[in-house]
Amino acid sequence: MNKLELNEDKVLEVRFVGDDDVLNHILDREGGAKFKKERPQLLVNTKKIIKKPEYDLKEDGIEVLKDKNYVEVLGRDVQESLKNGSATVGGNKVYSFQNRKHPEKMAKLASELAKTPRKNVSYSLKNDPEIMTDIPQCSKGHSPSDEVQLKNNDKSEFISTTRVLRKRLIAPRNHSDSESEYSASNSEDDEEVAQEFEEDTNKAILSPKTQAQNRVVSAPVYKATPSKKMKRDKTSDLVEEYFEAHSSSKVLTSDRTLQKLKKAKLDQQTLRNLLSKVSPSFSAELKQLNQQYEQLFHKWMLQLHLGFNIVLYGLGSKRDLLERFRATMLQDSIHIVINGFFPGISVKSILNSITEEVLDHMGTFRNILDQLDWIINKFKEDSSLELFLLIHNLDSQMLRGDKSQQIIAQLSSLRNIYLIASIDHLNAPLMWDHVKQSLYNWLWYETTTYSPYTEETSYENSLLVKQSGSLPLSSLTHVSRSLTPNARGIFRLLIKYQLDNQDNPSYLGLSFQDFYQQCREAFLVNSDLTLRAQLTEFRDHKLIRTKKGTDGVEYLFIPIDNGTLSEFLEKEEEES
Amino acid sequence: MATSSVSKGCFVFKPNFKKRKISVPIEEYFNEGKNESEDSKLRFETYQVIWQQMKSETEKMQEELNKNLFDSLIKFLQKSHSGFQKNSRDWGCQIKLREIPTAALILGVNVTDHEFTFRSLTEAIQNNVTPYVVKLQARDCPDIKHFLQKLFSQLMDCHVDVESKEEEKDIQKKTHCSMDSLSSWYMNVTQKTDQGKPRKKRTSSQWQSPPVVLILKDMESFTTKVLQDFIIISSQHLHEFPLILIFGIATSPVIIHRLLPHAVSSLLCIEIFQSLSCKEHLTTVIDKLLLTTQFPFNLSEKVLQILTSIFLYYDFSIQNFIKGLQLSLLEHFYSQPLSVLCCNLPEAKRRINFLSDNQCENIRRLPSFRRYVEKQATEKQVALLTNERFLKEETQSLLESLHVYHTNYFLVLRCLHQFTSSLPKYPLGRQIRELYCTCLEKNIWDSEEYASALQLLRMLAKDELMTILQKCFSVLNSSSEKQLGSTAKRIEELLAQLQSLDEVKEEEDASGSQSKGLQKTDLYHLQKSLLEMKELRRTGKKQTKFEVLREKVVNFIDSLVREYLLPPETQPLYEAVYFTAAHTLHEHLNAAPRLALHTALNNPYYYLKNEVLKSEEGCIPNVAPDICIAYKLHLECSRLINLVDWSEAFATVVTAAEKTDANSVTSEERNDIIHARFIRAVSELELLGFVKPTKRKTDHVARLTWGGC
């Protein structure tokens, strides 16, 4: 309003003003004031307008699209979209901050799950006075310091830490009782809020403190923006929890180790055998899922041809799906299948297979960038050339590097190279910045298959899979067969020494002098020069490594795990 | 399988040479996936035609938008180069000669759009200033050696002399690239062109020695050392190697001084150029592609909302916006059989005659068409539902009216935007796209914002009102079609009335000021007359002529809006030209893989529709897939997880689930199997990035995510 008037009074001049003019002027103002009075009325009516002044303030800034609307739009889509898992949960529910957990909790949850076969176990978050009585019980197992910390905390902390326990102890009927108590204790307006709280599965907001805060706020205003208020509370809580979880250096877990169990580790082969006996569950549903995805094959081909690239995400191995895609659609075109999960994969090998096998080029390149340029030029020159790249696990250890991604992205941006890839890692999309994303020109497809990652994890030195080391073992035997008997003896000496010392935590390796001495005694070498020559050969095969000790002496050791070494020794002895 | 091996990661498959020749045309893919595909070939062709048109339109538009910037840049290049030409001895020039002329091009954060800008910039410079333009990117130049090499090789490519090309290739390979070799090469080349071809080719650029323009596309990501070294070296050679730098900057010009110390930046003579902001760019794109009848294709409100949100919240990238547009176009033609009618009016009318029976059925099934039928008289209803020919004729007229609707719609929308865009606080949005979204969504006149906007309009001053009306008049006149001719005339009338009011008022003013202007007053009288006026107001103040007229204008606009800005859902056959599937767009452009993982692990029922898996939120049945159970259990742990505990917990759950068929195998073997399943689940979780092995405690894994269930 003021602005309008300012515009009118742009020209500044001084003159005598008569009564009527003043009058008009004032009356005009009055009209303005009247309007102003009206405006707030209007504002109260709708939420949207309440929000408006906030972002209208930053006039020069980028104008903000009503984010509420945006969210609404997405929300409305949920009903329409059948196959979008992403729409079901709000972001804050997914990976919130870590909070302190009871060490025994997992076992408890497990027994709980076990106790109620074919039944759901829920641990909904109802506020309950009885929790308080449970606390001493639950913290019995803790170290004293932990107990103190627990006591110092908010009640909310208790709720979260004892959630499972509580569930076990409290009968469901009890639940509803306390719940009604809770709502009765609040004013009418709070009831609505309480309901909202219940719906929200998020942890530990029900602290009495928050409630108290809520009550302070006057009812109508609170009604208008409950979610906002809650969010603020949540975030502050979460922040505290985060620091809580990360502050204590001590982690409370039990000290049991796998060695005490008989069945500790299995090797890859037995693992496979065992798993083959497991009958897959839900095969009908899985088949249905897969059929749905297979119907997309034609669309994928179309979109690939139109310049998009396709990335598949979602739980479960997508390897079989891509294999089927390959088998049905790509039989008549040149394509490369790239196993990203293969530990030896590199961009270099991908580029090499393009230049050598696809383009039949025999020359070599100075570096990868040259090679890439060459490929790009080749594909630009010859537009009839077409190449499909299928990459399983684009986000694997070996390919996730910035440089590799850059190069693959540049390849994929070519018009006649079509890329279809799968990603599995939780944080895979972080690999790409805007530039790479626009080079890739992705279309995302969710393909949750639930099929096991058999192939993908088979290479990995998984946690519990005994490193049978069949690969290093065979290479060891290969190398040792090509050695002279003396050299074999030298190597065996080193192995034995290393195995003897395997329980010694401060073992660095065998010093060269000691080694020489031992070899001499065993009549294996006659001078340290011959020993050095032998060692060089070992080093070339990466059978030994040297390390400088603190005293400057060179220590030799074999960078292969002891299990493999002892197996190797056994085999050797068998043979001889 | 043929694609797994322990020694190889890449598998190349080459079909036989003969087979390869038969390539499947893309259209095949367009229809094969669907069982009932109507006119798919035609649809695909239409898609391609429209997309090509849109693409060329955007390119043209981008060029136009960049024109100003390029003109000033080229002017700068020519001016800065003139110093080399004159060779004048005066002091100022000497100083200037030591400094490398530099243009800092502020392009904004939408890095993905820069490529296009640079490409057209290079073209423009090559046409107008110099053939020697080199573009460098940070990722190609990790050190000064590579930098010079790249520069050298690209310069060679710029210089198109067929005879000497071979020789130069050799030089390039042999010589160690240095600034010396560069400048000697430059001397060579310029002399050669002087002697050999006395300015035949380049009459436009009358330079004896054209400058070398070096564009650093992403100045921020260059390593400081490389930049500094290069600037210092080249400033030494400036007198023999006339270099001009152009920095592409995404953030702010301060970055130059942050990257380069004073000693280096003083060697540069920097001028800053600002490109058009991406926001304005977007406005133009929407204006040219969507708010026009040139393209029959339209977006629904949700789709537009999603596209603009991705733009505003994620990347500010025009390129991505256009990609989204392309995808929606493709999806529309792919999924909607009636999209065959989404082309220009005469063509669509022609196509209607060739529609198959199935397509006619499709038309009848359209909700909007059914609504339309229900409103008709019974005889006509029957005819529409049974008689194909009648249906086709009717469809033709409906399409025509749809076209008219759009023409009017956009004109009125623009007029309304003229009115609302200048209001304080922008109740209906500052940008026309916001207004458009609101109008698409619902009847705009039902909204509170519209009411308050009208209220504000009733308070406009006269000159403002007049300028707005004039703008509206020109908007209405700009269209070639004469649909709203009467409206234009009406506005003209209103304008004339306002004009005449002006004259009348002036006269009044003149007389009024004489009679009242000099009247003396005191506080008492003033108060008294104020009170009088107040009384007068209460009883109903008489409006001035201007106020009456203003009211008229506002009512006029209101009536226009109510008549023409109906949401598209009200129009029969709107489905044929509006793309509405916002969720697919969101799914494919702005996916959330983490959420999908979370859902799959937490709530398997969402994907596997088996009743056994049904559960409340936040819990999981014990028959769920192994990985879900392992995941759920691991959520109960803090940073470290004891594998033994985890495995035991897992075994407890799984055994409980399996109780029924426990007798079939020995317990020993069963335990082994369960253990194996646990191992698989854990290694899968490791692959997914939820846990990783740790050495902090034996047989523990570390959790990599926060939070619980």
A501 within some domain:
yes
Are B125 and B235 within one domain?
Answer: yes
In this structure, what CATH number is given to the domain that contains residue A320?
Answer: 3.40.50.300
Chain A residues in contact with B606 (beta carbon < 8 A): 85, 88
Would you say residue A314 lies in a domain? Answer: yes
With CB atoms and an 8 Å threshold, state whether B597 touches A314: yes
Residue B709 has pLDDT above 60, yes or no: no
Q: What is the mean pLDDT of chain B?
A: 81
Angle between helices B545-564 and B448-457 in degrees, nearest 10:
150
Domain endpoint, select from A446, A480, A495: A446
A288 with A357, same domain: the answer is yes
Query: At A412, is the pLDDT very low, low, confident or very high (cuts 50, 70, 90)?
Result: very high
Is B469 among the domain residues? no
Q: Which residues of A touch B6 (CB under 8 A)?
A: 459, 471
Determine, for residues B642 and A256 on separate chains, whether the beta-carbon distance falls below 8 Å. Answer: yes
Distance of CA A494 to the CA centre of its chain: 42
Residues B215 and B352 grouped into a single domain:
no
Q: Other CB atoms closer than 10 Å to residue B336's CB: what's the count?
A: 22
**Signed CA dihedral, A494, A500, A502, A506: sign only:** negative
Each residue's pLDDT tens digit, A96-142: 444 445 556 667 777 777 665 444 433 333 333 333 333 333 333 33
Residues A421-431 pLDDT 10s: 999 998 888 98
**Which residues fall within 8 angstroms of residue B47, CB to CB, at 6 or more apart?**
B329, B330, B333
**pLDDT: is B507 or A443 the higher one?**
A443
- Yes or no, beta carbons of B636 and A96 under 8 Å apart: no
Three-class SS of residue B212? Answer: strand
- Least CA distance to B637: which residue of chain A? A101
3-state class (DSSP) for residue A376:
helix
Residue B120 lies in a domain: yes
Q: Which of residues 235-294 of A touch B (CB under 8 A)?
A: 242, 245-246, 251-254, 256-261, 263, 266, 270-271, 274-275, 277-278, 281-282, 284-286, 288-289
One-letter amino acid for residue B172 of the chain: Q
Q: Which of B545, B579, B613 is the last residue of a domain?
A: B579
* B contacts of A124 (beta carbons < 8 Å): 616, 618
Pair (B575, B684) in one structural domain: no
Three-class secondary structure assignment of B24-60: CCHHHHHHHCCCCCCCHHHHHHHHHHHHHHHHHHHHH
Instruction: Pick A19's closest partner by Cβ from B425, B519, B679.
Output: B519
**Chain A residues closer than 8 Å to B632 by CB:** 109, 113
Domain-located, residue A288: yes
Instruction: Please give the pLDDT value at position B128.
Output: 84
Residue A266: its chain B contacts at CB < 8 A? Answer: 672, 675-676, 679
- The amino acid at residue B400 is E
Name the residue with higher pLDDT: A162 or A498: A498
Confidence of residue A478 (pLDDT cuts 50, 70, 90): confident
Residue A485 has pLDDT above 50, yes or no: yes
pLDDT at residue B216 is higher than 80: yes
Q: Report CA B560 to chain centroid distance, whole Å.
A: 31
DSSP string, A273-334: HHHHTSPPSSHHHHHHHHHHHHTTHHHHHHHHHTT-EEEEESSS--HHHHHHHHHHH-TTS-
Tell me B677's DSSP state.
Answer: H
Which SS3 state, helix, strand or coil, does residue B691 take? strand
Q: Please count the structural domains in chain B.
A: 3
pLDDT tier at A186, thresholds 50, 70, 90: very low
Residue A81: name the closest of B339, B311, B611, B599 by CA.
B599
* Chain segment A35-69, per-residue pLDDT in tens: 333 333 333 333 433 333 433 333 333 333 344 44
Q: Report whether pLDDT(B201) > 50.
A: no
- The answer to whether B113 touches B302, Cβ cutoff 8 Å, is no
What is the pLDDT at residue A7? 45
Predicted local confidence at residue A149, as pLDDT: 40
Number of A/B CB contacts below 8 angstroms equals 486
Structural domain contains residue B28 = no
Tell me the residues of chain A between 70 and 109 that have a Cβ less than 8 Å away from chain B: 70, 73-74, 76-77, 80-81, 83-89, 91, 94-101, 103, 105-107, 109
pLDDT in tens, A68-104: 444 444 444 433 333 444 444 444 455 544 444 555 6
Q: How many CB atoms are located within 10 Å of the residue B233 CB?
A: 15
Residue A318 to chain B, least CA–CA distance (Å): 13
Per-position b or e across A249-265, b if 16+ CB within 10 A of its CB: eebbbeeeebeeeeebb
B676 vs A contacts (CB less than 8 Å):
266, 270-271, 274-275, 278
Q: Does B30 touch chain A (CB under 8 A)?
A: yes
Query: Are both B357 and B429 inside the same structural domain?
Result: yes
Q: Write the Ramachandran bin of A62: left for phi over 0, alpha for psi from -120 to 50, otherwise beta.
A: beta
Q: How confident is the model at residue B332 (pLDDT cuts 50, 70, 90)?
A: very high
pLDDT-wise least confident of A300-304, A475-479, B192-196, B631-635: B192-196
DSSP SS3 for B278: helix
Together in a domain, A297 and A334: yes
Per-residue confidence (pLDDT) for residue B327, from 0 to 100: 93
- The dihedral of CA B81, B85, B91, B94: what is its sign? positive
B145 and B293, same domain (yes or no): no
Grade residue A23 by pLDDT with cuts at 50, 70 and 90. Answer: low
In this structure, the number of other CB atoms found within 10 A of the CB of residue A89 comes to 18
Q: Looking at the complex, does the CB of residue B678 fall below 8 Å from at least one CB of chain A? A: yes
Among chain B residues, CA nearest to A320? B1
Q: State yes or no: pLDDT of A364 exceeds 70.
A: yes
Q: What percent of chain A has pLDDT over 70?
A: 53
Name the domain boundary from B579, B605, B621: B579
In a domain, A138, yes or no: no
**Would you call A446 and B426 a contact, using CB atoms and an 8 Å cutoff?**
no
Which one of B153, B626, B667, B699 makes the best mutation probe of the A interface by having the most chain A beta carbons within 10 Å? B699
Residues 225-284 of B with CB under 8 A from A: 279
A287 and A435 belong to one structural domain: yes
Question: What is d(CA B114, CA B251) in angstroms, rounded to the nearest whole number?
Answer: 13
Q: Chain B interface, mutation test: which of A42, A95, A304, A442, most B Cβ atoms within 10 Å?
A: A95
Which CATH number is A494's domain given?
A: 1.10.10.10
B390 and B293 inside one domain:
yes
- B9, A338: Cβ pair inside 8 Å? yes
DSSP string, B286-333: HHHHTSSSSS--EE-HHHHHHHHHHIIIII--HHHHHHHHHHHHHHHH
Interface test with A, best of B43, B327, B619, B695 (most A CBs within 10 A): B619
> What are the C-alpha distances in Å from B676 to residues A119, B657, B702?
25, 16, 20
| Least-confidence region, from A8-12, A64-68, B132-136, B371-375 | A64-68
Claim to verify: residue A292 and residue A433 sit in the same structural domain: yes
- Which among A251, A399, A458 is the top mutation candidate for probing chain B, defined by the most B β-carbons within 10 Å of its own β-carbon? A251
pLDDT, residue B156, reads: 78
The reply to whether B246 and B309 lie within a common domain is no
Q: Residue B483 pLDDT more than 50? A: yes
Q: Coil, strand, or helix at residue A548?
A: strand
A368 and A513 in a single domain? The answer is no
pLDDT at site B52 = 93
Token representation of residue B16:
């036989």
Rg over CA atoms, chain A: 35
Q: Which residues contact A24 (CB under 8 A, 6 or more apart)?
A: none
Considering only CB atoms, B609 lies closest to which of A285, A303, A438, namely A285
B142: contact with A, CB 8 A cutoff? no
Q: Is residue B138 one of the residues assigned to a domain?
A: yes
Shared domain check, A488 and A437: no
Q: Give residue A373's pLDDT.
A: 86
Domain, as residue range, for A482: 469-575
User: How close does chain B come to A545, measured CA to CA in Å?
Assistant: 22
A409 in a structural domain: yes
Min Cα separation A73/chain B (Å):
6
Is some CB atom of chain B closer than 8 A to the CB atom of A471?
A: yes
Domain boundary among the residues B547, B579, B611 is at: B579
Does residue A44 sit at the B interface (CB-CB below 8 Å)? Answer: no
Asked if residue A327 and residue A474 are part of one domain, the reply reads: no
| pLDDT of A367 above 70 | yes
Is residue A5 over pLDDT 90? no
Based on the fold, state whether residues B267 and B330 are members of the same structural domain. no
Please give the residue that has the higher pLDDT: either B51 or A173: B51
Give ∠ CA A142-A144-A145 in degrees, rounded to 5: 100
Q: Distance between CA B420 and CA B453 in Å, rounded?
A: 7
List all residues of chain A from 513 to 542 with a beta carbon under 8 Å from chain B: none
Between β-strands A335-339 and B10-13, what pairing exists: parallel, antiparallel or unpaired? Answer: antiparallel
One domain, residues A483 and A555 = yes
In this prediction, residue B513 carries a pLDDT of: 42
Q: Are residues B80 and B222 in the same domain?
A: yes
Do A290 and A416 sit in the same domain of this protein? yes
A53 contacts B518? CB cut-off 8 A: no
Q: How far apart are CA B28 and CA A301, in angstroms?
A: 10
Paired tokens of A13: 């001049």
Which chain A positions have a beta carbon within 8 Å of B430's beta carbon?
63
Which pLDDT tens digit goes with each residue over B292-329?
888 889 999 999 999 999 999 988 889 899 999 999 99
Residue B34, pLDDT score: 53
What is the percentage of chain B residues whose pLDDT exceeds 70? 83
A201 and B648 within 8 Å at the Cβ level: the answer is no
Q: Is the pLDDT of residue B162 over 70?
A: no
In this prediction, residues B691-705 reach a mean pLDDT of 81
Evaluate whether residue B475 is within a structural domain. Answer: no
Give me the mean pLDDT over the A226-233 stretch.
48
Domain count, chain A: 2
Distance from C-alpha of B504 to C-alpha of B498, rounded to nearest angstrom: 10
**A490 in Cβ contact with A519 (< 8 Å):** yes
One-letter amino acid identity for A282? Answer: F
**What confidence score (pLDDT) does residue B309 get?**
92
Averaged pLDDT, B31-46: 70
Based on the domain organization, do A404 and A514 belong to the same domain? no
Q: For residue B641, is it within any domain?
A: yes
Share of chain B above pLDDT 90, in %: 9
Question: Which one is predicted more confidently, B32 or B686?
Answer: B686
Q: Which residue of B has its CA nearest to A8?
A: B461
Structure tokens at B708: 């619980």
Q: Which of A14-23, A531-540, B408-417, B478-487 has the lowest mean pLDDT?
A: A14-23
Same structural domain for residues B145 and B49?
Answer: yes
Same domain, B336 and B270: no
Query: Phi and psi for A351 in degrees, rounded to 5?
Result: -60, -40
Answer whether residue A464 is part of any domain.
no
Using DSSP, state whether B401 is helix, strand or coil.
helix
Residues A501 and A537 in one domain: yes
What residues in B contact A62, CB-CB < 8 Å? 279, 312
The mean pLDDT of B110-122, rounded to a whole number, is: 87
Q: Identify the residue with better confidence: A345 or A277.
A: A345
* φ/ψ (deg, to 5) at B247: -95, 130
Q: Averaged over A560-565, what is the pLDDT?
A: 77
Contacts of A22 in chain B (CB under 8 A): 521, 526
**Cβ contacts of A74 on chain B, cutoff 8 Å:** 306, 586
Give Cβ neighbours of residue B9 (< 8 Å, ≥ 6 apart).
A338, A339, A340, A342, A344, A345, A349
Residue-averaged pLDDT of chain A: 66
Residues A429 and A514 in one domain: no
User: Chain B closest CA to A487's CA: distance in Å?
Assistant: 28
Nearest-angstrom CA–CA distance, B592 and A445: 10
Directed axis angle between helix B448-457 and helix A47-56, to 10°? 60
pLDDT of residue A333: 85
In a domain, A376, yes or no: yes
CATH of the domain at B102: 3.40.50.300
Q: What is the phi/psi pair of residue A313, to 5°? A: -135, 170
pLDDT at residue A408, rounded to an integer? 92
The answer to whether position A352 is within a domain reads yes
A152 CB within 8 Å of a chain B CB:
no
Residue B671 has pLDDT above 90, yes or no: no
- The strand pair at A387-392 and B578-579 is best described as unpaired
Residue A71 is encoded by which pair of tokens? 């969210």
Q: For residues B106-127, give the mean pLDDT.
A: 87
> Has residue B513 been placed in a domain?
no
| pLDDT reported for residue A80 | 39
pLDDT for B29 beyond 50: yes
Minimum distance, in Å, between the CA of residue A257 and any CA atom of chain B: 6
Burial string for B493-512 (b: 16+ CB within 10 Å, else e) reads ebbebbeebeeeeeeeeeee
> Hey, is the C-beta of B430 within 8 angstroms of any chain A C-beta?
yes
B343 pLDDT more than 90 = no
Which pLDDT value is given to residue A423?
92
Could you report the per-residue pLDDT of B580-617, keeping only the tens digit for each? 888 889 989 988 888 899 888 888 888 888 877 777 76
Does B495 fall in a domain? no
Rounded distance between C-alpha atoms, residue A77 and residue B506, angstroms? 59
Q: Is the same domain home to B340 and B379? A: yes
Query: Is the pLDDT higher at A6 or at B474?
Result: B474
**From B649, B671, B706, residue closest to A106, measured CB to CB:** B649
| Chain B residues in contact with A435 (beta carbon < 8 A) | 111-112
What is the per-residue pLDDT for B240? 80
Range of the domain at B629: 593-703
